[in-house]
Amino acid sequence: MPEAVPAPKRQSRREYLQLQRLMAGAVMRPLSPRGRLQGHWLDGQPMRKVAAGFIKPNDRLTSFERLEIYNRQYWFRLLDCFYDDYPGVRAVLGDRRFARLTEAYLTQHPSVSFSLRNLGRGLLEFLAAQPQWTAPHGALALDMARLEWAQIEAFDNAAKPPLTMDALLEIDPARTRLQLQPHVTLLELAYPVDEFLIQIKRTERLRDEASNAMEAHPSRWRRRLQRRWKPAEVFLAVHRHNDTVFYKRLEPGAFRVLSAFRTKASIADACQQLGAEDGGAPDAGGKVKSWFESWASLGWLCRSGRRG
Amino acid sequence: MPANAFNGFTDYGIGIGLRVPHYNHILSEKPTVDWFEIISENFMCDGGRPLKILDQILEQYRVVQHGVSAYFGSAETLNREHLKRLKRLVQRTRTPWLSDHLCWGSVDGRYTHDLLPMPYTMAAAKVTAGKIRQARDFLEVPIAVENVSSYAEFHVSEMTEWEFLSEVVERADCGILLDVNNIYVSSRNHGFNPLDYIDQIPAGRVAQFHIAGHSRYRKYILDTHDHPVIDPVWRLYEHALRRTGPTATLLEWDAHIPSFQEVHREALKARRFMGEVAAHA
């Protein structure tokens, strides 16, 4: 009589979770410098042994190679996404440094959202805390990242019912609290990165279309662009109008008033933010009125919620 | 007449995936298309162009939602924020059914953004079925789960993939989105007979088909959705249709996307098989 073969041990729910933790850990681990699954696991064990412990080989691929397919796909997908979302930061750093930055960021800040749209949500904090990834272009890279994140927010954030100029004229400026549309981001920048980004996109388009000479020397065109990039203080609003993302440069006084609306201020309180330079000028009233007309026409202002 | 209890939409015909490069053509030319499948996550935002385009599409066409990140197979609980946003979209599109994948992709709140393969175990089937039921109850729309292409298998698996799929959908009492290209890809990667797969799943639960192209590498096949459908996949589709009867079918083309006309022409090849099955029914 043949010996009874014991039934294989059934997986428990706890083991099911542990398997997912193990596999996700391997999939999300940075690739080796040669773009492969790393040779050793976190505890120093050979990765081949770890992979063989939970993944079956087949007649063509080892367990290691099968796991590697997922590891590579993970990084290719996420790097692609960052490559598309941050062309400006990429141009500041160059492709190789940008890839290293992306890998470092995503290793420390793996995605916690179901949407790839939110992949860069923690990037600004990361760049500020770890300037070694962008030095010596830290301030420029950070400004560029702020602009590029603002574009993402402008693209698909909510739009509340906007206040028209007529509606603004009817409200009590001392009591009614206003706020900016969720798709509007205000940026105080040390570099005119709005101009730089337009240059970068134009240059990249040209590279894509025709120029073999530029394609052959990507670092050369990048250095050429960088030489033109000089610091200059810029106040910028990034917003959406007619479903297209735009930048609008602001006067410092306008920036301060709008910033007050970011914290749900009344019109009167917001206008208190004007310094002597703006508020004391002979034509101050007319200037402020023209700002509000412009903002109302762009639909930037809306009523604050009840908690405002 | 529905072909089965989970397919009340046999008249849906042949759809294609709604993709950005085709927006202008669709909105300006208004081509005749049976229906569009949207990737839910691309429209689970708060505003802007995606929702405006979607609303314009909804004025003209039937839309069915297909998700990529519900991760019914993840051991952790469903993401409430994801579900709430999904429900808002369901209310907007009035999708007649909603599909997502039989896979996992997140653990401890971290997302891989991939469709990772399931261990085919009873523990996994129970967790997954429970989550599908929860999602269906919350979303108030029928759910169909799609078999994924896979490149790895686990030692711990206790059953075949088709047994696992059957176990999950019976426990969850939900439909199947049967991707015949994924069956083909996985059969080549794991060495099983794809006809065994098709013959042994509960045909009465197939609510929709996916067809697509893939890329062949030296040692494995990758599900890339960047080529026309190959003949062996069309034959599997025909075989599956004979078991299910006419069923809503969709062509996926997600990379190196050709013109709208080319994608639509490729999708409409399914009509011949659908017509033959209907004629013999």
Whether B217 has a pLDDT exceeding 50, the answer reads yes
- Which of B44, B110, B155 is nearest residue A24 as measured by Cβ atoms? B110
pLDDT reported for residue B195: 98
Give residue A201's pLDDT: 86
Is the CB of residue A204 less than 8 Å from the CB of residue A214? no
Cβ-defined contact of B46 to A77 (cutoff 8 Å): no
The helix or strand, by DSSP H or E, that contains position B160, with its residue range, turns out to be none
- 3-state SS track over A217-271: CHHHHHHHHHHHCCCCCEEEEEEEECCEEEEEECCHHHHHHHHHHHCCCEHHHHH
Looking at residue B10, the DSSP 8-state letter turns out to be G
Please give the structure tokens belonging to residue A203: 């240059």
CB contact under 8 A, B110 and A243: no
Mean pLDDT of the region B154-164:
97
From CA A59, how far away is CA B240, in angstroms rounded? 28
pLDDT (mean) for B181-210: 97
Residue of B nearest to A22 (CA): B107
Give me the mean pLDDT over the A25-44 stretch.
Answer: 97
Residue A276 has pLDDT above 80, yes or no: no
Report the candidate in B25, B31, B81, B33 with the shortest Cα–Cα distance to residue B53.
Answer: B25
CB contact under 8 A, B82 and A114: yes
pLDDT bracket for residue A179 (50, 70, 90): very high
Local confidence band at A4 (pLDDT 50, 70, 90 cut-offs)? low
Compute the average pLDDT of residues B225-237: 95
Compute the distance between CA of residue B229 and CA of residue B213 in angstroms, rounded to an integer. 4
Q: How confident is the model at residue A209 (pLDDT cuts 50, 70, 90)?
A: low
The arithmetic mean of pLDDT across residues B139-150, rounded, is: 97
Averaged pLDDT for residues B241-269: 94
Q: Is A78 on the interface with B (CB under 8 A)?
A: yes
Segment 250-279 of chain B within 8 Å of chain A by CB: none
Residues in A closer than 8 angstroms to B131, CB to CB, are none
Q: Summarize the confidence of residues B42-71 as an average pLDDT.
A: 97
Rg of chain A over Cα atoms, rounded to whole angstroms, equals 26
| pLDDT band with cut points at 50, 70 and 90 for residue B1 | very low
| Residue with token string 């796909």 | A73
Element (H, E) at B140: none
Per-residue pLDDT at A285: 81
Among B43, B72, B195, B62, CA closest to B130: B72
Q: Which of B151, B160, B167 to mutate to test the interface with A (most CBs of A within 10 A)?
A: B151
d(CA B133, CA B83): 13
pLDDT 10s digits, B83-128: 999 999 999 999 999 999 999 999 999 999 999 999 999 999 999 9
Which of B155, B185, B186, B222 to probe by mutation at the A interface, max A CB count within 10 Å?
B155
Q: CA of B227, closest CA in chain A: separation in Å? A: 19
Predicted confidence band of residue A300 (pLDDT cuts 50, 70, 90): very high
Q: Is pLDDT above 80 for A121? A: yes
CB contact under 8 A, B156 and A54: yes
Least confident of A179-183, A208-212, B201-205: A208-212
- In this complex, which of A13, A60, A66 lies closest to B152 when CB atoms are compared? A66
Confidence of residue A308 (pLDDT cuts 50, 70, 90): very low
CA–CA separation, A223 vs A92, rounded Å?
9
Cα distance from N-terminal residue to C-terminal residue, chain A: 81
- Put simply, whether A70 touches B (Cβ < 8 Å) is yes
**Amino acid in position A17:** L
Give residue A159's identity as a one-letter amino acid code. A
Inform me whether the pLDDT recorded for A16 exceeds 90. yes
Kindly compute the dihedral angle of the four CA atoms of residues A93, A94, A99, A104, in this order, to the nearest 10 degrees: -20
Quick one: average pLDDT of B231-252?
95
Stated length of chain B: 281
Mean pLDDT, chain B, whole residue set: 95
Report H helices in chain A.
13-27, 47-54, 63-85, 87-93, 95-108, 123-129, 138-156, 165-170, 193-209, 212-216, 218-228, 252-262, 267-271, 276-279, 284-298
Confidence grade of residue B3 (pLDDT, cut at 50, 70, 90): low
- Determine the pLDDT at residue A217: 60
Query: Is residue A274 very low, low, confident or very high in pLDDT (cuts 50, 70, 90)?
Result: confident
Contact A113 B109 (CB under 8 A): no
Q: Which of B84, B118, B156 best probes binding to A when mutated, by most A CB atoms within 10 angstroms?
A: B156
Averaged over A90-114, what is the pLDDT? Answer: 96
Lowest-pLDDT choice from A99-108, A194-203, B96-105: A194-203
ipTM of the complex, rounded to two decimals: 0.95
Contact A11 B158 (CB under 8 A): yes
User: Measured between beta carbons, which residues in chain A are less than 8 angstroms from residue B79?
Assistant: 114
Confidence of residue A283 (pLDDT cuts 50, 70, 90): confident
Residue with tokens 């261990």: B119
Distance from the Cα of A80 to chain B's closest Cα (Å) equals 13
Confidence class for position A273, pLDDT limits 50, 70, 90 = confident
pTM: 0.92
* Average of per-residue pLDDT values in chain A: 90
